[in-house]
Amino acid sequence: MLCVESDLKFKRWRALCANIRNLGLVIFLGFTFPLIAQDIPDRSAATADLIFTGLQEFELMGNSMDVGFDLDRDGLEDFAIGAPAGGKRCFENPPVPFKFCDGAVFLFGGKRANLIKRLEGPINQNPDSTNNFGSAVRLADLNGDGLAEVIVGSSYSDARGYHSGNVNVYSGTDYKILSQFYCDSKVSDECGRSIATGCDLDSDGSSEILVGAHTGVYIYSGRSSAFLGKISSVQGSADDWAKNIRCDGDFTGDGKSDVLVAAPLEDVNGSGSGAVYGYDGNDFQNRILLRGDVAGDQFGRGLSFVGDVNRDGFDDFAVGADQQSDRGYVRLYSGRDLSILSEWKSYENCGSTGANCNFGASLSSAGDQNGNGIADLLISDPTYNAGQGRLYLVSLADSQFIQTITGESPSSDAFSVPCRGLSSNFDANGDGQSDILCAAPFHDSGGTDTGRAYLFLSYVPEQAPPPASDDEDLRICLDDLSTSREELVSLQAQVLLLQDQNSEQANHIVEYQARIIRLERKIEQILSQLKNPEGNGSKFGKSIWSKLFDLIYF
């Protein structure tokens, strides 16, 4: 059982959860462990504090996501989840992979998991194609009104030619389209395959929007939408240019954000060795060039700024090469002199099946998970255990693994791609601690490749309050159990009813499903602590326990 802040929002839960913590049943993210596989605690994705499941087959919910802004003015930070193979037309046609489906982006509110808005991709005029709306998604307050705009890539849009792609910017107030970007409007350019924000390059007080395409990185003013410049690709689509873009760090130490661009299939050091380029935010001149060691490394498949780890005034960054010797590595580079500060490799044999690993396929700063003042790092391996997937949390203070999180299913989940735990500012439940949002876009719980997203709430133990009486605790839990059971049955009935109706009810289905998962977990938590009264050291009356077991075995 995991007692999280969402459980503690009612005072009546505080005493029970304090007792549970005293029994040592809580898993914490905040401790450092030696770099020995068997000593590192593992957590299943199934134990996430919130789980979001796709609505139909081939939706790929969780293929993109972003976090860290309050979208509904409730004081809690919210998040966006992309489903590039979903969308309204998928409800109106038999499910066919990537056909008819224009994509969708879901905006969810903090720890309550309420669906704020669902953005539908524009209908692709090619009946056999998809827009891939949600290929990338970012949140950024572009006009300074305190509400984030939503920036969505449609990399397969045919608006200016087959798969030319485009990006839509939606107002954070009414979600109307404010602007659209088309890069160079070239066939198969896939404009919008990646997006970066978090950098004010023209010093106007607003973040710019960097849009990745095969031909280059296109830089637009977030405030005026004006085109500011282009960083041209080196080898075009052959090098997988702009697979990743980052501009939320300053490796030159001059106070202005700089730009990192990954080209994981560049072949200078052999076919697919990969490269990462760094550009000065002042003039967009190339200042950094790092390459993979050998052919097949795919250096740059993972990429993330991580803040100033070594406290030298220059932001550092991490690069993943997920194909190296079929295992992969991640290196932490100094922004000041490009020296390697740390290096990690997959320390396991890729699961019981012996399948290849892709350690380092995606990276993200995780905020400060262990309270030492330095941001930690998330490293994903989507093919661990034949596709089950695994996420590694690493302390950048001492380079030690803190915890692993493993996908639910034994195969085909591709858990942990992508992850967004962008900074210490992402706090979904308002407890002052960094939270993590991850996904398994190929999860099959709702049908083939429906996808799932997982929210993990970090937890710092609080001082235990004065304990309530045992009898009072038990009566409160019995009331909770009975109420939760009734609400669960009601919600399940509503979902079944809505699924028989038209697709306009899809928003409600997503919200109800998230609430059902939370209720199921709440019931499981209550039962796990109350099935054995003597194990908890309590002295409850027989009549109370009789009522409890009536509820346990419903």
Share of the chain above pLDDT 90, in %: 34
pLDDT at 32 over 70: no
Q: What is the pLDDT of residue 4?
A: 31
Q: What is the pLDDT of residue 464?
A: 42
Q: What is the pLDDT of residue 273?
A: 92
In sequence order, which residues have a C-beta less than 8 Å from that of residue 500 and are 6 or more positions away? none
Q: Which residue has the higher pLDDT, 533 or 524?
A: 524
Q: What is the pLDDT of residue 419?
A: 60
Measure the CA–CA gap between 75 and 412, rounded to whole angstroms: 37
Strand partners of residue 44: 406
Q: Position of tokens 């305190």? A: 146
To which H or E segment does residue 528 belong?
helix 506-530
Lowest mean pLDDT among 30-44, 100-114, 442-456: 30-44
Q: Look at phi and psi of residue 487 and say left if phi exceeds 0, alpha if psi is from -120 to 50, else beta.
A: alpha
- β-pairing, 42-44 vs 401-406, is parallel
Question: What average pLDDT is seen over the chain?
Answer: 76
Q: What is the pLDDT of residue 488?
A: 64
Q: How open is the CA angle 242-316-457, to the nearest 5 degrees? A: 85
Measure the CA–CA gap between 469 and 522, rounded to whole angstroms: 21
Share of the chain above pLDDT 70, in %: 66
pLDDT at 535 over 50: no
Tell me the CATH class for 42-456: mainly beta
pLDDT at 314 over 90: yes
- 398-454: per-residue pLDDT in tens? 888 888 888 887 655 666 556 654 334 578 888 777 888 888 888 887 778 888 888
Handedness of CA 246, 251, 255, 259 (dihedral sign): negative
In sequence order, which residues have a C-beta less than 8 Å from that of residue 525 and are 6 or more positions away? 1, 2, 3, 7
pTM here? 0.76
Q: How confident is the model at residue 371 (pLDDT cuts 50, 70, 90)?
A: confident
CB atoms within 10 A of CB 270: 15
Q: Where exactly are the structural domains of the chain? A: 42-456, 464-530
Q: Which residue has the higher pLDDT, 320 or 11?
A: 320
